[in-house]
Structure 1
Amino acid sequence: PRTPGPGVLHEPFGDTPEANLLGHQLQVGDDGEFELYIGGPERGPNWLPTTTGSRKLFIRQGFDRWEELPAQLRIERIDMDSPKPLPSPPEMVEAMRWAGEFVTGLMADWPEFPFTYGGVDANHPNAFPQVDATDADARRGRAAANMYWELADDEALIVEFGAHGGLWMLTNMGVFFNSMDYLYRPVSYTPSRTKTDADGRVRLVMAHRDPGVHNWLDTQGFACGNLTYRHMLEGEPAALSTQVVKHGELLAALPEDTAMVSPAERTAAMWERFHGIRRRYVL
């Protein structure tokens, strides 16, 4: 159910999870398929109960390696005995009203939400708020934190944290929390695509131009934006630290064993990303 009020985003966001199932809790067949029952009487392990306030099924999938593909999902009403009815004119009007309010809500809510409710200080950019795994996050199956960043043309930002369990991801985003150009540019990282230094620390480098380090986060030429960290599955979220340095002094601020790439290797990584995304989303 959703209770509108301060700190609650526009539709369809803001629901409080009533029940959830994680991947390790599902009973999966030898062919990798499973059936999930929603509501009705309890049907064994692959069952999600509902209440009179239930209104949404939210499915979260996380991807690490480029060859991973999304699950193919099908929805069936098990007691169906006639065709699905066509929407009535009032239902179509309501659907169009909802779509319009989604667009206006997106414009009104997202740019200021992290500053008003997310613990982000606009006067002190380039630092993450503390990431705590709350009970609400556990029910949603993830923990998240957002950093607002600002970088001058000659600056770079180092994001550092300890290598940790679970599936984590960092994504460079725009003002409306839309991902930057993930088809062509290295604007996101997950464990399998990241190099860890010999001291067990992960260091990502956000910069306007390619510094030659493997873990480069492209700003896409923007002077400011949002960097979002998410953590899923096992383990706890990491403590994230940041450091702003001059671009020309970047390598001196990194460990000597920092993984570097050549222009040819960067191009190869771009192609790997390009093909991986197109396989995953059929663009």
Structure 2
Amino acid sequence: MMTAVNQHSRNQQSRELLREAWDDFIDNIQSARDAIDQSEYYPPDGDDRTLAEGYRYLAGFMHSAVERAFHDDANFPAFRNAISVYNKSTIDNADAIYFYAAIDGRQYYRVQAKLADAQHWRGQERASSGALAPQYLIFELHSGPMAGDTGDLGELAPGRRTGFGSLDSSVLQLGDDGQLELLIGPERPAGYSGNFICSRKPPRASDPGGDDRYADFISGRQLFYDWSREEAAQLTITALHSGGRQPAPLDSVRAARQLRKMGAIVRGQMHFWLAFYDRILNSRGRHQEGRYAMPVNGYNRPNAASGDTGGGMSTNIYAGGIFDLGENDALYIEARYSGEPVYTSLHLSNLWGESPDYANHQSSLNGFQMAMGADGVQRWVVAHRDPGVPNWIDTTGLRRGYLSNRWAYPELPDEDQWPTISARKVAFSDISGCFPADTPSVTPAERRTAIAERQSHVQRRFRVF
């Protein structure tokens, strides 16, 4: 039996261990904070709004790092929001739920959900009434660091991450009652014909004597089109090897490790993404133009998701640019695509990579929400105030920020069939002349109705009870 003296000594060791870990955590948070206003970390120009949003941005990484450091457990997993209205980052998609869960690819897991009407997943007309499943759903397995965790762009090097496969709504099998079940594991069980993603890969060809590789997490997106009717899928994940068991209680050694991990995540994310925007996207015009560089008031050439682009959904084609608009300026944008993307959108971001307030402003539009003419050309205008056209993208007062377009396909088309996009700055007074003559006008009352719909949907999408 432990004596009182020994217990006191052990408690003192625990206090010292946790204080040291806390001090390391604070040091990492301070290093993350430095990225807001110290030039060596490439922060955006620090006007009042930008500085205020920088501290919110930092707090968002702290919010998500608590969950990732203290509550991720591959033996007792749960799906969590990787990005939400509380921790926006990485030029996030205003139509998306980004979700993830930790797994051990050596084990088996079952993912389940009960979906609303999903007949549009098979190319059928949407049900005329009632709740709908999201426009698009995808699951993906990966290993390696989550994008940004290291704080070093070296994590984009080939081989630092491994993808293990994906399934999306174009092929996911559903039960007659809308029940979705997905099995994850290192080998498909004999006779199993349902939804399955393998969580194991053999050694790389360059390392034939190496070990098998196993997935560390499952991630994915739910993308919404009709914000008035589509309902989020309530996903659950069960570790089949630990059902009915309990995790071990927390101790000082594990808590110290988690505190250090939390601080490292926040520091890494703050440093990585600003470096990514500066060096990969060339957002400040300091480097030689590259494939992904974002021109001012224009677009880069559309490109597919890859490690070079910081990850992203594997079925997406992306295009991006930077808007920089004076009070009486606007940016007129046209895009053309071939085939039948299951999802398409345009949305904005501030220079930290946070999407603007898309609940209370029309700072994004997807393919369902926007008006398209008979010629099939996508047309938008980005402006600081409402010009009375359907496809207005509200800057929310940001003079400068990121433009991001996405087209998602069940299978990526050949590159010569990828979308094309262009933009030009125009005077606010010339906006109406950019659109076809049959473009309808939008009244202030109609705009308020659209905003009310957005407000309601975002509350439902990210409800916590």
Query: Fold match, TM over 0.5?
Result: yes
Pick which of 55-64 and 41-50 moved more: 41-50
| 1:232 matched residue in structure 2 | 408
| CA-CA distance at 1:183 after TM superposition | 0.9
Give the match for residue 92 of structure 2: none
Cα shift readout 1:200-243 (whole Å, capped 9, x = no counterpart): 21111100111111111000111101111122233655211101
Whether 1:249 aligns to 2:420 is no
Q: Which moved more, 1:219-228 or 1:246-255?
A: 246-255
Alpha carbons 1:120, 1:129 under 8 Å: kept = no
**If you compute each CA radius of gyration, which structure gives the higher value, 1 or 2?**
2
Q: TM-score, normalised by structure 2?
A: 0.55
Question: Residue in 2 aligned with 1:194?
Answer: 370
Give yes or no for contact 1:119–1:129 (8 Å, CA) kept in 2: no
Does residue 1:180 correspond to 2:361, yes or no? no
Q: Could you tell me which of 144, 148, 151 is aligned with 1:2? A: 144
Partner residue of 1:42 out of 180, 188, 196 = 188
Task: Please tell me whether residue 142 in structure 1 is matched to residue 294 in structure 2.
Answer: no
Aligned residues of 1:162 and 1:201 also touching (Cα < 8 A): yes
Distance 1:121 1:198, change over 3 A: farther
Matched, 1:89 2:286: no
User: Would you say 1:278 and 2:459 are equivalent positions?
Assistant: yes
Percent of residue pairs bearing the same amino acid type: 28
Q: Which runs of 5+ in 2 are unaligned?
A: 1-142, 201-212, 287-294
Counterpart among 301, 306, 311 of residue 130 in structure 1? 301
- Please give the residue correspondences for 1:153-172 in structure 2 after superposition, counting only pairs within 5 Å: 153-162=327-336, 165-166=340-341, 167-172=343-348
Deviation at 1:120, TM superposition (A): 5.7
Query: What CA distance in whole angstroms lies between the structure 2 residues aligned with 1:230 and 1:153?
Result: 27
| Superposed CA offset, 1:158-179 (max 9, x none) | 1111265220121111122211
CA distance in 2, matches of 1:256, 1:268: 24
Q: 1:113-128 maps to which residues of 2 (within 5 A)?
A: 113-118=276-281, 122=285, 124-128=295-299
2:384 match: 208
Partner residue in 2 for 1:24: 170
Q: Which residue of 2 aligns with 1:110?
A: 273
Which residue of 2 is the match for residue 69 of structure 1?
231
Q: Distance in 2 between matches of 1:139 and 1:222?
A: 27
Question: 1:58 matched to which residue of 2?
Answer: 219
| 1:96/1:144 CA distance change after superposition, 3 Å | farther
Unaligned runs of 5+ in 1: none
Query: Which residue of 2 is the match for residue 79 of structure 1?
Result: 241
2:332–2:381: 8 Å Cα contact kept in structure 1? yes
CA drift at 1:252? 2.1
Is contact 1:114-1:146 (8 Å) kept?
no
Structure 1 or 2: more helix by fraction: 2
Q: Determine if contact 1:146/1:229 at 8 Å carries over to the other structure.
A: yes
CA contact (8 A) 1:149 1:227 kept: yes
- Post-superposition Cα deviations, 1:103-135, rounded to whole Å, max 9, x if no partner, equal 223322223423412366737401111113367
Residues 305 and 316, structure 2, Cα contact 8 Å, conserved in 1: no
CA separation of 1:16 and 1:121: change in aligned 2, threshold 3 A: farther
Query: Whole-Å Cα distance in 2 between the matches of residues 194 and 96 of structure 1?
Result: 45
The CA RMSD over aligned residues, in Å, is 2.5
Deviation at residue 91 of structure 1 after TM alignment? 2.7
Richer in strand (by share) = 2
Deviations 1:7-66 (A, max 9, x none): 537xxxx74322111223222111111221221431333222123342111122111111
